[in-house]
Structure 1
Amino acid sequence: MIPAGYERKHTNFDRMAARYNVDRTSAAKWSQEEGFPEVLFTAGQGGQQIYDEDEVDAWLREHHFGTWVQSQQGKKNPFDLPKGGPRDLLTLRRIGELEGRALKRDATPVTTLRTYLSKKILAPADRTPDDGGQPTVTEPMWFRETSYAYITRPRRTRRATKGEAGERPAAPKPRAGVGDLLDLDLPAGADTDLFTLQEIGELDGEARGRGKATTVGTMKNYLSQKLLAPADRTPGDGQEPAVDEPKWYRSTAYTFIRRPGKLGGAAARAPRRDAEATGPLRDDLKLPAGADTDLFTLQEIGKLDGKARGRGKATTVASMRTYLYSGLLAPADRTPDDGQEPAVDEPKWYRSTAYTFIRRPGKLGGAR
């Protein structure tokens, strides 16, 4: 229930998923990332987390700009472009500067804009030298309204055609006998978000528990050995948005990061059965009361598990999946399209199933 007198716009994971065109699981994972806005309050029987809508939008623009951009299509001046008259004149260079500012990157090079001009992505200049218009111009210029229509145009990542798909190098497959991709805890986001080689190295080092980034030199070695697929985007490839260095889609980067092999540090410590995991269920844990059929997501069970078992922090979703795969957590009681009511949009567990898992035998950590 929303507190009396509450006036700020609020949102939850379901609303975030709808607004930013992602699934609910991705929206929920954002809340685990650094700097995500604090929960304002909880509501409903399941303790649904409520956030400030404007704070979430500002955070998403800063941390998942590609996803944020896609949600702004059709809105008036979502990029905070400078105000001015619709027929103010702008040069090609100025258009590139404004586009870079709007997309939080370097200015779009004039050469790239000329390519867009030839492909009719950018409309022809509204004014040219000796066109007889006033004021006289010495180079091609565009009206502000024409320029802004280009900058705020719908942006979709171009998908390869069937012919191109056959030519495009496939992502590397794990070598025979090495094993399946690892289930690592990685930041959520759109598959088409773009990353540089350095950014992939930073994610790789953290996710695989080394405590420091994988160096660019090492990343180049992985690339030459085809452990990392060739870049999905390169300068001058004609796709949108333009890039000024090789970049990889999130999906390609994550396939590489999840490659089979040993992990270092904390990432190597996967959940395991406790030595005394064969005993009776614990009855000394404090768990919230509720109906046995109340539904919980994997993330929500992890939060309850971490608190009840005295760890001081939630059991991560990646760890929960490992418990699930190892059989310590039973399969979900409800799944999307299972025909039951109420409908669910992701796997969920009954309170009774979740509590059976949380009360499993074994040592507790931290506060009792």
Structure 2
Amino acid sequence: MMIGQKEYMISDQAVIREAVIRINDFSAGQALVLFVLNSAGQVVGSLTDGDIRRGFLKGVGLDDSVQTVMNVDYHFLKKNSPIEEIKRLKSEDLKIIPLIDDDKKIIRLVNFKYIKSILPVDAVIMAGGKGVRLKPYTNDIPKPMLELDKKPIIAHNIDRLMTYGIKNFYISVNHLKEDIIRYLDNAYQGKDILIKYIEEHDPLGTIGSVRMVDGYENEDILVINSDLLTNIDFEDFYVTYKEHNDDMAVATFNIKVDVPYAVFETTDKRIDSFVEKPTYIYYSNAGIYLFKSEHVKFIPKGQKYDAIDLIKTLIDNGKKATHFPIRGYWLDIGTPENYHKAQDDIRYIRF
């Protein structure tokens, strides 16, 4: 349970007076709700200021038990709750919901003021590159640590993934790894996430290090390059991937090519038709992937292996790989020009 969330818990042996004092001490903007726990730490109800007021109207007193006014039909989520259920609860304007285990004990509280969704994935952030194209900025600073709006690129990505309820992070590091590890350990100390490091000794390509983890907790893995600036809707990405029952989904961005001349359709040398000054749209790899954790077995151990290799391997093995067009902002911060652009754009992007 996250430190600081205990203020929302109250014993089922408490009286209403204590609940009133507790709720009254909440600061402005906090959800006015308490979750009632029994002696075994199980949630047995919820209690709001409205529940207490309704109790007073029925003659309940301050020294009566909270059990007399608590709501036993409280809302909750479980780790395997469908995204549709999360959306429904958000639509009812509920502020805080307990995420409980099978024993009705709280794993953590979900605050919809800060959390957009709860995606049951393990996130792997690829942060081992040398950033050769970004020199001289990366002479002494690892590429993921370059700052945008006074915060490292990698922190922007972790923070955004956290808003989708992702808790398990694996950071694949190599070049200047000590700087990255030191920063993340300090910046996320005490936060309600788990960060582990995959330490490459030799470069393993864009996805090879994913094989170095002994076992992933969730059925699906989200892999993202650390040097991206994007406002992709990760919930939409995940839902689409699951609805299509994909083995792997690749986020893509559009490249538009305008041809300033007529383009002929031909058979041998014969012109069958033509299109005057056409525009073609191509979908390119955006460096963000979702795939089933069971497919990690296809990644060879200790060898350089790129994401495009995994896509090909899955297709060759009769698996289903699809693409997901990013409808928002996406930028690969791989060159000085794009780094300058990201420094300007970040002030205007809606995350």
How would you bin the TM-score normalised by the shorter chain? under 0.3
Taking CA–CA contacts closer than 8 Å with sequence separation of 6 or more, which of the two structures ends up with the larger relative contact order? 2
Question: Could you state the TM-score of these two structures normalised by the residue count of structure 2?
Answer: 0.24
More helix by share: 1
- Answer 1 or 2: which has greater strand percent: 2
